């Protein structure tokens, strides 16, 4: 038996144990909002690890309801979840539902900003947000936070085309340079002096589902003591669902 076969057997064994634990904890009570927060978190952690191996529609939305019930999030914060599709639901969308979803893509960007801003405010953390075009142009941005990003973006534009003196360009010229090189924007969220564990980072990236459309990947990472949540607009539009948002809130509240 080779190493790959052994790993598959181990993975299958762990999945079986996880499914048994879900049965013991009573997943139906979780779905019916009949367990306490501690048990709900235990069940949810197992469910997101098993991902497609379970068939309980809408469990991420249920976990969000527990966060509301136990006042970890406010009513206003809960309402922001409306704009994200439920990636754990099995039901097919109607044409009207799909149109409503596509038309609310800007609201999803604003909702993520709002949730991060509110959570960081509660925890006394500094939160910064810019998109890659604004960072590239450099008008009124925090260079201590986004200066390295700007260098990367501008260096890549130089590699893409002819050498340019960006310091001599006005805002419109810089915008044109950016649009010539890139077809999308990267939405850059930064939480200063806050680090995630490697397991938390892996969990968030697992449910981010980068579309691969933009030059730079959509990802969550920690660097120089700060946490970066970077999502392309295309990824935000197509694949950021409720599970990622719920996981992000749980991670930042240190509940998972």
pLDDT, one tens digit per residue, over 199-215 is 999 999 988 888 877 88
Write the CB contacts of 126 (distance below 8 Å, at least 6 apart in sequence): 120, 191, 192, 193
pTM assigned to the model = 0.83
The pLDDT of residue 191: 97
> What is d(CA 200, CA 256) in angstroms, rounded to the nearest whole number?
8
User: What average pLDDT score do residues 102-125 get?
Assistant: 87
pLDDT, one tens digit per residue, over 153-203 is 988 887 665 556 888 888 998 998 888 888 889 999 999 999 999 999 999
pLDDT band of residue 93 (cuts 50, 70, 90) is: low
The pLDDT of residue 4: 46
The pLDDT of residue 9: 41
Write the CB contacts of 222 (distance below 8 Å, at least 6 apart in sequence): 195, 196, 201, 228
Place of tokens 């201590």: 144
Q: 24: phi > 0 → left, psi -120 to 50 → alpha, else beta; which? A: alpha
pLDDT over 60 (residue 5): no
User: What average pLDDT score do residues 147-154 get?
Assistant: 92
Write the CB contacts of 51 (distance below 8 Å, at least 6 apart in sequence): 206
**Strand stretches in the chain, DSSP E:** 127-131, 186-191, 219-223, 226-232
The pLDDT of residue 19: 55
pLDDT over 90 (residue 53): no
The pLDDT of residue 90: 59
DSSP 33-85: T-S-HHHHHHHHHHHHHHGGG---TTHHHHHHHHHHHTTSS-HHHHHHGGGS-
Cβ-count burial 105-128 (b if 16+ within 10 Å, e if not): eeebbebbeebbebbbeeeeeebb
> What is d(CA 106, CA 221) in angstroms, rounded to the nearest whole number?
24
Q: In the sheet where 186-191 sits, what is the strand order?
A: 127-131, 186-191, 226-232, 219-223
Place of tokens 């978190």: 41
The pLDDT of residue 198: 93
> What is d(CA 132, CA 230) in angstroms, rounded to the nearest whole number?
10
Percent of the residues in the chain that have a pLDDT greater than 70, as a whole number: 81
The pLDDT of residue 136: 94
Q: Which of 16-25, 82-91, 139-148, 200-209 has the lowest mean pLDDT?
A: 16-25
């Amino acid at each position: 038996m080779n190493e790959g076969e052994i790993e598959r057997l181990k993975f299958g064994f762990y999945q079986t144990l996880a499914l048994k634990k879900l049965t013991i904890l009573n997943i139906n009570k979780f779905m019916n909002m009949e367990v306490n927060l501690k048990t709900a978190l235990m069940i949810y952690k197992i469910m997101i690890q098993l991902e497609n191996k379970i068939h309980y529609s809408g469990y991420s939305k249920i976990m969000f309801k527990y966060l509301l019930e136990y006042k970890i999030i406010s009513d206003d914060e809960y309402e922001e979840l409306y704009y994200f599709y439920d990636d754990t639901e099995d039901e097919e969308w109607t044409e009207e539902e799909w149109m409503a979803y596509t038309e609310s893509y800007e609201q999803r960007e604003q909702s993520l900003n709002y949730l991060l801003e509110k959570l960081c405010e509660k925890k006394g953390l500094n939160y910064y947000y810019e998109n890659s075009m604004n960072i590239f142009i450099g008008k009124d941005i925090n260079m201590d936070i986004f200066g390295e990003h700007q260098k990367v973006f501008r260096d890549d534009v130089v590699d893409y085309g002819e050498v340019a003196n960006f310091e001599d360009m006005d805002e419109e010229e810089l915008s044109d340079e950016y649009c010539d090189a890139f077809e999308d924007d990267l939405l850059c969220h930064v939480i200063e002096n806050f680090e995630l564990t490697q397991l938390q980072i892996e969990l968030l990236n697992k449910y981010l589902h980068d579309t691969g459309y933009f030059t730079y990947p959509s990802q969550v990472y920690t660097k120089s003591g700060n946490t970066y949540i970077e999502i392309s607009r295309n990824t935000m539009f197509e694949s950021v669902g409720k599970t990622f948002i719920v996981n992000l809130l749980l991670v930042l509240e240190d509940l998972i």
